Structure 1
Amino acid sequence: MSFIKKMFGSSSEPKEEKILPWIALNTTSQLDAIASKSLTKTQVIFKHSTRCGISRMVMNQFVDGYDLTENDLDLYYLDLISYRDVSHHVGTQFQVMHESPQLLIIKNGVSVAHASHGQINDLDLGKFV
């Protein structure tokens, strides 16, 4: 067996793609709704750069490790390349300096936690539900 197969597995079966309950975040008016909804349910914003390989890798790891449901929290996806103005308003409204990729956890109208790059996957979202 080759070294590559030992490292990455030799299964020829395609991996089933996991689909998360993403809500597209593409207008600044959604931010007030997110703050309002966070009074009763945790809101999460994932800021993703579609041009960045690191952002794609972190997002794939996030998706693979995600084990919550739509009942637990609302999960927003922000394509920050297409919606730069929304990304800027996220930082301003929730007082978090922009990084990419970035995850913000919103409760009671404020960001209670945030992480960027590899630290995103270290956050235990279950603690915020």
Structure 2
Amino acid sequence: MLAKIDTIQQFDDLMKSKGTFYLLKHSLTCPISHAAYKEYEKFSDANQEIPTYYLAVQDSRPLSSEIAERFEIKHESPQAILFSEGMARWNASHWKITNRSLADAFVEK
């Protein structure tokens, strides 16, 4: 299930309650981000047991910036991040966000 989050509080709640999950930083205006979102959506639909979330950078800049700073991951959009045990274990951006890369990263976590 793909769910949108908007706030730092929502993200912090996920970090406390979910062992492992994906988050996609998504731009509402970028065609590359749209393609990455479609791949992410395909992955989410095929792997419903894996929690998947996204944020729209235009709507959630404070959250997007907080994640970049807290985990020392240069902000990019689109950007998929796999979180596990309170850490960012994997991330990819732009055309590297594919159904296959998401599945492979989850297996390797």
Q: TM-score range by the shorter chain?
A: 0.7 to 0.9
Counterpart for residue 78 of structure 1: 55
Task: Note the alpha carbon deviations across 1:5-27, whole angstroms, 9 max, x for none.
Answer: xxxxxxxxxxxxxxxx1221101
Segments of 4+ moved more than 4 angstroms: none
TM-score of the pair, normalised by structure 2: 0.84
1:22 and 1:61 mapped to 2: Cα distance?
Answer: 12
SS in 1 for 2:51: strand
2:25 pairs with 1:47: yes
Within 5 Å, which residues of 2 pair with 1:1-129?
21-38=1-18, 41-66=19-44, 67-69=46-48, 71=49, 73-121=50-98, 122-123=101-102, 124-127=104-107
Distance 1:27 1:128, change over 3 A: farther
CA RMSD, aligned part only? Answer: 1.8
TM-score of the pair, normalised by structure 1: 0.72
- The Cα of 1:65 is off from its aligned counterpart by 4.4
Rg comparison, structure with higher value: 1
- The answer as to whether partners of 1:48 and 1:102 remain within 8 angstroms in 2 is yes
Structure with the higher helix share, 1 or 2: 2
- The answer as to whether partners of 1:37 and 1:43 remain within 8 angstroms in 2 is no
- The answer as to whether partners of 2:26 and 2:54 remain within 8 angstroms in 1 is yes
- The Cα of 1:126 is off from its aligned counterpart by 4.0
- The answer as to whether partners of 1:48 and 1:79 remain within 8 angstroms in 2 is yes
SS in 2 for 1:62: helix
2:30 and 2:4 mapped to 1: Cα distance?
Answer: 19
Distance 1:77 1:102, change over 3 A: same
